[in-house]
Amino acid sequence: MVELPEVKVELCDGCGLCLTVCDGEALVIIDCKACIIQDGWCDQCALCELVCPTGAIGFVYEIVFEES
């Protein structure tokens, strides 16, 4: 399963900059907020996270110790 970035809607100001860097067209603006649509199109480049001016979109990490 492709892991997708998450949008914190309370931080998103709907500027749409994430859309301009997404090759997969996986993002749209709905009701002035970024939304992730076509799962399969996200290539996990993380450029959306890089350009977001408010830190609203990004991949979430779980932090684990390597299993021995």
If one asks whether residue 25 binds other proteins (CB under 8 A), the answer comes out as: no
Which one, of 3, 1, 50, lies nearest residue 22 by Cα? Answer: 50
Closest CB 30 distance from other proteins, rounded Å: 20
Question: Contacting other proteins (CB under 8 A), which of 9, 13, 20, 38?
Answer: 20
Closest CB 17 distance from other proteins, rounded Å: 6
For β-strands 6-7 and 57-58, DSSP reports them as antiparallel
Between residues 38 and 44, which has the closer beta carbon with respect to other proteins? 44
Q: How far are the Cα atoms of 17, 31, 58 from residue 46, in angstroms, in the given order? A: 13, 23, 7
